Amino acid sequence: MIKIRQRIKVLHIATLNRPIRKDLGYGPIETVIYHIDKGLHELGHHSIVACSGASYVAGEQFTTIEKSFSEYWSKFTRL
């Protein structure tokens, strides 16, 4: 008997503070979303990530803002 696996569709909603990237090496949520998206995509599932335009994802990217908030920060920004 051949078991047919159903394809699922998953929407990941990322924070807007940092982009989703492999090389970021920052905080857990961006790294977790990157790896879950990559794994689901490799298994043939439809993975959608709502994130900033500076992100790199394996599945489908739904851009919510052009740049992550952290990219607007500079040493000259005042609080």
Going by C-beta distance under 8 Å and a sequence separation of 6 or more, which residues neighbour residue 74? none
Quote the distance between the C-alpha of residue 2 and its chain's center.
33
Residue 22 three-state SS? coil
Mind listing the pLDDT tens digit for each residue in 13-68? 998 888 898 887 666 788 899 999 999 999 999 999 999 998 999 999 999 999 88
In this predicted structure, the answer to whether residue 78 has a pLDDT above a threshold of 80 is no
What integer pLDDT is reported at residue 24 of this predicted model? 72
**Reduced to 3 states, what is the DSSP secondary structure of residue 47?**
strand
Residue 14 CA, distance from chain mean position = 6
CA distance 13 to 64: 10
